[in-house]
Amino acid sequence: MSKRARAAKADTPATPTQVDVAVVGAGPSGMAMALLLARHGFSTALIAPAAMADDDRTTALLDSSVEMLRTLDLWDAIEPHTAALRHMRIVDGTGRLIRAPEVVFDASELDVPAFGYNIENRDLNRELAKACADTPELLRIEAKLSSLTPMGDRAELTTDAGETVIARIAIGADGRNSMVREAAGISVKDWRYPQSALVLTLEHGVPHHNHSTEFHTPSGPFTLVPLKGRKSSLVCVVSPEDADRLAALDDEALARELERRAASVLGKMTVVGKRQIYPLGGLTARTVAANRCALVGEAAHVFPPIGAQGLNLGLRDVAALGEVLVTAQKRGEDIGSGAVLQAYERARRPDIATRTTAVDLLNRSLLSDLLPVQALRSVGLYLAGRISPLRKLMMREGIAPVMARPRLMRGLTLR
């Protein structure tokens, strides 16, 4: 905890803390947002309890996200904890009448060393937290937001430790149940799927050779993503009842069942670490910016863990908002004004809408028993496997949509 954060817990300051930007939420999106702005000259406060140290989930950072982290001088510390994703394999395991052929996407076709890099969240959070602590322009307040009041020319935030922060703009990176979003009066579209994701880490007897393998099953994707050594992260999407049943098995029985579902592609499996279950659903905010507030990450959009899209979409929010705010600051504009917030909304709406819709349709297509739906999915994968330009287009768009890729994700600095 920083000295400033300790002071916030020890006593209530006589005067509010004034900053350009207050970022609420210390997940990867929140810490990346705070670091980006602090390193571009904004006085920045990051308000949240300490980052989670025991998060057993993993994140696949796609190439465009890696480019942003590299441009911000963060990648060198993160890379040693990662495993490269050089090949992405899709296997139709639905067992239905109409099935798609197996398709393998290879990063070398795009002349990149890897589609991305998989990392355990605890390692990613730790390295980003270190970078926050080492950034003098960044004020880290380890407390929970208790209230936020948008005003005409500022946003006023109060923590549960009694500290008041006044900012020109408040950025919500505080997840699905965002207090920032609620304070800004932004409504959401919220939906649920009849699925839960069982998430855990496996050790296995056969090397993964940097292959990510995704089995499409009638209940959802069963995805193995490489980690360092002979380890892979698993996201197994099944019915809530099946998720509970699997989680209740002892380690040996669970490993045997997962090896069966994986067709032994990685040999004998051993469960390591704890099991986590997440009910699946989706959410999109009506707008990503209003009333002196902007949203990034899961405060703005949530969807199933398919194709490593979640955090990467959130990091595109971060890069785009950073670009908008830096541009506004250099023009002498009010960074929390309606015009600046509208510019961020225009920059992000097409990417969020298309990505959310695509993931939702793919997930629902796996759950559907309708033959036309199965045929469309199968034909799409067949064409992707046979037509090189289409396959390359799908790979490029999977990494990040070309038309929505901010400057930081193209290796360019912010002007």
296 close to 35: Cβ distance less than 8 angstroms? no
Residue closest to 93 by CA, chosen among 303, 236, 230: 236
- Least-confidence region, from 110-124, 167-181, 297-311, 368-382: 368-382
Q: Which pLDDT score is estimated for 385? A: 66
| CB neighbour class for 274 (10 Å; exposed up to 12, middle 13-18, buried from 19) | exposed
Mean pLDDT of 340-349: 96
Residue 1 confidence (pLDDT) above 50: no
Residue 387 confidence (pLDDT) above 80: no
**How many whole angstroms separate alpha carbon 147 and alpha carbon 155?**
10
Q: Which pLDDT score is estimated for 356? A: 86
More confident residue, 4 or 376: 376
pTM of the full structure: 0.89
| 217: region left, alpha or beta (phi > 0 left; psi from -120 to 50 alpha) | beta
Residue closest to 401 by CA, chosen among 282, 311, 313, 321: 313
Domains of the chain: 3-190+282-410 (3.50.50.60), 193-272 (3.30.9.10)
What percentage of the chain has pLDDT greater than the value 70?
Answer: 85
Please name the residue ranges forming H helices in 22-144: 28-38, 63-71, 75-78, 121-133
Q: Per residue in 286-295, pLDDT tens? A: 999 999 999 9
**How many whole angstroms separate alpha carbon 326 and alpha carbon 131?**
20
Q: Greatest CA span in the chain, whole angstroms?
A: 70
Residue 139, H or E segment = strand 138-141
| Mean residue pLDDT across the chain | 88
Q: Which pLDDT score is estimated for 362? A: 76
Mean pLDDT of 336-345: 97
CA 370 to chain centre: 31
Q: Which pLDDT score is estimated for 220? A: 86
Q: Which pLDDT score is estimated for 407? A: 82
Residue 7 confidence (pLDDT) above 60: no
More confident residue, 36 or 217: 36
Tokens of 231: 């380890």
Q: Which pLDDT score is estimated for 370? A: 53
More confident residue, 390 or 201: 201
Q: Per residue in 392-406, pLDDT tens? A: 766 677 766 766 678
Mean pLDDT of 29-48: 97
Strand, helix or coil at 67? Answer: helix
What percentage of the chain has pLDDT greater than the value 90?
Answer: 67
353 close to 288: Cβ distance less than 8 angstroms? no
Q: Is the dihedral of CA 35, 40, 41, 42 positive or negative?
A: negative
Extended beta strands in 301-393, E state: 301-302
**Strand order across the beta sheet in which 301-302 lies:** 103-106, 87-92, 211-217, 220-227, 231-238, 188-204, 269-285, 301-302
More confident residue, 64 or 182: 182
- Give the model's confidence band at 415: pLDDT under 50 very low, under 70 low, under 90 confident, else very high: low
**How many whole angstroms separate alpha carbon 413 and alpha carbon 415?**
6
**How many whole angstroms separate alpha carbon 320 and alpha carbon 395?**
21
In angstroms, the first-to-last Cα distance of the chain is: 33
**How many whole angstroms separate alpha carbon 261 and alpha carbon 238?**
12
Q: Which pLDDT score is estimated for 251? A: 95
